Amino acid sequence: MCVGIDPHAGLLSGWGLDDSAAGAERMGRDVVAASAGVAAAIKPQISFFERFGSAGFVALERVLADAREAGVIVVGDVKRGDIGSTFAAYAEAWLAPGSPLEVDAMTVAPYMGFDTLSGAFPFVREHGKGLFVLAATSNPEARMMQTAVRPDGQTLAASVVESANAWNASEHAADTVGSVGVVLGATLTLSDFGIDTAVRVTPALPVLAPGFGHQGAKVEDAAEIFGGIGYAVLANESRSILDGGGVGLAGRVRERAALITEALDDR
């Protein structure tokens, strides 16, 4: 399980916290403490820290420092995408060892071309970092673009999945898990996006899957949802865990992590 950290105003209020950098920091650090040794990862949504300017980045750095100290894997939900040296600079900011913003993996947008992500590949190869590439996302606005059909008959979403699989196959042994994954909404019917789930892919494709819990997807249905591309699913839950406030947080994390682990281990 991946626990999302989304310190927006409504959630902060429910926690009895100010809508401020200090409030976001408190929520983030509490989630790290509750997740350590229980959840596989955390996923801070960077925009909710960015909105507080430099104070927000200081707060985020403290959350990330706690996670590193606790040994919690961090997926930075940054959704960066650009060309050439510009994207390489984003990758350096988020993936370079020793950076105050260092995370273990980052979400990226491929819509300027999958090969523009190459600026991150040195960090993936040399430092064990990972990427999660937006492929089929659960927001309804994305459907028109992500189901667009290329001249070769493949949808844009399917081409992103294929490119991630191809990169992993060129870099990893078949019996391993790749370093480049995709974001696939768990509330979607992936065949509607032209994504073939019938055949098991190797190396295993990491799938960051938002949509479980509050958004309605059931982790027990993961095998049906993801099929042959679902052997390295990182099920993300945010609202279902954060909604209850700080009281009882650790218990909610343990409960959801146990349920998700059991469901995915049955695959």
pLDDT in tens, 60-74: 999 999 999 999 999
Using the Cα atoms of residue 52, residue 54, residue 55 and residue 59 in order, give the sign of their dihedral.
Answer: positive
More confident residue, 265 or 176: 176
The predicted-structure confidence for 178-204, as pLDDT tens digits, reads as follows 999 999 999 999 999 999 999 889 999
Percent share of the chain, pLDDT over 70: 99
Nearest CA to 138 out of 106, 181, 184, 182 is that of: 184
Tokens coding 135:
């492929």
Identify the residue with better confidence: 218 or 254: 254
Residue type, 65: A
Banded model confidence at residue 267, pLDDT cuts 50, 70, 90: low
Cis peptide before 140 (omega within 30 of 0): no
Per-residue pLDDT, 132: 99
pLDDT digits (tens, 9 = 90+) for 23-81: 999 999 999 999 999 999 999 999 999 999 999 999 999 999 999 999 999 999 999 99
Q: What are the backbone dihedrals phi and psi of residue 179, each rounded to the nearest 5 degrees, phi first?
A: -95, -20
Question: Rounded to an integer, what is the distance from CA 241 to the centroid of its chain?
Answer: 16
Confidence (pLDDT) at 149: 98
- Higher pLDDT, residue 104 or 228: 104
Q: Is residue 180 within a helix (H) or strand (E), and if so which, with residue range?
A: strand 180-184
Give residue 21's identity as a one-letter amino acid code.
A
79 is catalytic: yes
Residue 171 is classified by DSSP as H
Whether 154 shows a pLDDT value over 80: the answer reads yes
User: Cβ atoms within 10 A of the Cβ of 54, count?
Assistant: 8
- Give the CATH number for residue 190: 3.20.20.70
- pLDDT over 90 (residue 83): yes
18, 115, 250, 251, 252 from 30: Cα distances, Å: 15, 37, 9, 12, 13
Mean pLDDT of the region 100-104:
98
The pLDDT of residue 219: 84
User: Which residues span the domain enclosing 63?
Assistant: 2-265
pLDDT value for 128: 98
d(CA 205, CA 191): 17
Considering only residues 59 and 225, tell me which one the structure prediction assigns the higher pLDDT: 59
Which one is predicted more confidently, 121 or 223?
121
| pLDDT interval class at 214 (50, 70, 90) | confident
The predicted structure's pLDDT at residue 266: 60
Q: Work out the average pLDDT over 131-160.
A: 96
| Domains held by the chain: number | 1
Mean pLDDT of the chain: 95
What pLDDT sits at residue 215?
76
